[in-house]
Amino acid sequence: MTTRYATLLAVLMVAARLGAQTAVPAPWIVWPPSPERCTPATGDAAAILSRARAALGLNTSTPASVLRISSHEVVSHNYESDRPYRPFLTLVTDHLSWTAVARGVSRDSSSTTVGAFSVTPTISVLLGDDTVAFSRQDTAWRLSDGAWAEAERWRALDPWIVVRQWRGADARVTARCDYRDYPRLVLTRAGIYGPERLYIDPKTSLPIKLDRVEPQYLWGQVHTEYVYSTWLLYGDVLMPTVSTMLVDGDEEVVRSVSSVARVPRDSAPPLALPGNGGRSVVTILPFLRPAPLDTVRLGPRTVALTNPGYNEVVTLQHDTVFVLDATQGEARARADSAWIGRLFPGRHAVVVLVTDLAWPHVSGVRFWVASGATIMSRDIGKPFLQAIVTRRWTLSPDKLESVRPRPVLKFVPIRDSLIRSGIHVYPIDGVGSEGALMAYLPADGLLWASDYVQQLTEPALYTSEVFAAARRVGIQPTRVLAQHQSLAPWSTLAALVAHSPGM
């Protein structure tokens, strides 16, 4: 090795060590774009959109024209990963879509796997246009409000569909912005979530970004950007090879196009909307719907509150009510609070134990903070919980936004264990459950296993880690209950773990 290259290698190694120590990315790995800068502007929105349609080829598309697109999506499952920071669990979906360009009707067949959770891929077929979505069930189409948000997000990643949607007369030019290092014309209109902006490149008339604020169950609202980049010709069709959904600046969905073709109408599957079409509405995801609660008595002062989405536990220990997890948002937390008032009349301090930081599991925390409750969780989870409480909900204010002065997070950190007033809290701390907690109620013989006992029909890493944690701290429960597992004998879990590999 020459002296010149040896010196260069030494410099690079030192820089790499410094980068690792300071957690600052090396400049050749991350090259941030120039910040977006905007000034007010006016113009002829209809003419700009007409040029955008011409640039894509929408003006020349005939009623018989269908686009066949093969693509792959990588979706960041930040909301259920083992940490509230990257790297996250990812969901990978293969798409085959057909779009009747002139009518804006699209049909999408997708095959999805989620890491090791899907033994076989999940197959789904959606059909819809700008206002409605249908899902394929068996051999019939069914109007699906639940699929609408997913279908609309998928359509927003396709600039052909987006530009066609903007053909109406309500768009207006509002700004000229420097975005991705070049000037763009910005058009504004009212969309399904409120105002949205379409960025058009003036030199090519191609769309660069769809920009809007969308509601979000944990953060209140998020700034969502659908960015179209690395354009190529696929035969005679101009399409971005990559469309990216950025949420509050973080990459959440990446759509990579592998092939595009213009095909005759009779070479595509049926694209007629069923019946008179109807209209879909944006609705809350099924697992977040706070269905009415049932109660299961677990002990003299301990009750499970259950619905099809989540189990929770409330227990009165001396003069304090402990709420084991706060799922499904404010509506569920309000229902839990009402049940606490019926089950344990009188004034009691409330402590909410957060055992897992997955987003749906903590979406009720803001209500409890607004109600004066203390939040108890792993010490390493405090920054994330603080961010949830600090977030301003401006799109649809919740209880926390209405309380003045604004409550602060009253937080009890747990590092090793906590034993208080008849409740024992321990870390699970397996390789798959770092940062998670379980709670033991000795008087009831009950172990609350958070989301880490999900089924008791076959061995699972989580189940083995809960068993190992109980054995490590020397407790012997008689029953176990978890967010998605109904009450079961501890002996069932123990027998299952005994036949697990490595046990």
| Mean pLDDT in residue range 199-228 | 97
CATH of the domain at 76: 2.50.20
Residues 235 and 327 in one domain: no
Domain containing residue 453? 287-498
Mean pLDDT of the chain: 90
Angle at 328 between CA 119 and CA 137, to 5 degrees: 45
Q: Which of 262, 279, 312 is where one domain is finished?
A: 262
Q: Identify each DSSP E strand in 101-160 by its residue range.
A: 105-114, 122-128, 133-137, 140-143
Q: Identify each DSSP E strand in 318-431 by its residue range.
A: 320-324, 349-353, 374-378, 411-414, 418-420, 423-427
Distance CA 132, CA 149 (A): 10
268 within some domain: no
CATH of the domain at 410: 3.60.15.10
Summarize pLDDT for 76-108 with one digit per residue, the tens.
Answer: 999 999 999 999 998 899 999 999 988 889 999
Residues 229 and 320 in one domain: no
Residues 401 and 309 in one domain: yes
Tell whether the model's pLDDT for residue 27 goes beyond 80. no
| Mean pLDDT in residue range 360-367 | 97
Q: CB-based contacts of 192: which residues, under 8 Å, 6+ apart?
A: 152, 282
Residues 236 and 354 in one domain: no
Tell whether the model's pLDDT for residue 28 goes beyond 80. no
Tell whether the model's pLDDT for residue 30 goes beyond 70. no
Distance CA 395, CA 407 (A): 20
Residues paired with residue 253 on neighbouring β-strands, in sequence order: 75, 245
How far CA 106 is from CA of 65, 134, 198, 357, in Å, comes to 12, 11, 21, 37
Tell whether the model's pLDDT for residue 169 goes beyond 90. no
Tell whether the model's pLDDT for residue 323 goes beyond 70. yes
| CA 463 to mean position of chain CA atoms | 25
43 within some domain: yes
Residues 243 and 292 in one domain: no
Domains identified in the chain, total number: 2
Percent of the chain with pLDDT over 90: 74
503 within some domain: no
10 within some domain: no
Residues 316 and 183 in one domain: no
Residues 253 and 299 in one domain: no
449 within some domain: yes
Residues 198 and 75 in one domain: yes
Residues 244 and 291 in one domain: no
126 versus 372: the higher-pLDDT residue is 372
Residue 483, pLDDT score: 98
* Of the candidate ranges 172-181, 197-206, 283-292, the one whose mean pLDDT is the lowest: 283-292
| Mean pLDDT in residue range 205-222 | 97
Tell whether the model's pLDDT for residue 9 goes beyond 70. no
Tell whether the model's pLDDT for residue 126 goes beyond 50. yes
Residue 16, pLDDT score: 44
Residues 327 and 256 in one domain: no
Tell whether the model's pLDDT for residue 3 goes beyond 90. no
Distance CA 294, CA 306 (A): 5
| Mean pLDDT in residue range 206-234 | 97
Residues 61 and 171 in one domain: yes
275 within some domain: no
| Mean pLDDT in residue range 376-384 | 97
Summarize pLDDT for 267-281 with one digit per residue, the tens.
Answer: 999 999 987 667 888
Residue 1, pLDDT score: 45
Q: 61: pLDDT confidence band, cut at 50, 70 and 90? A: low
Q: Which of 262, 296, 331 is where one domain is finished?
A: 262
Q: 32: pLDDT confidence band, cut at 50, 70 and 90? A: confident
278 within some domain: no
80 within some domain: yes
Residues 162 and 251 in one domain: yes
How far CA 440 is from CA of 148, 450, 461, 491, in Å, comes to 41, 11, 20, 16
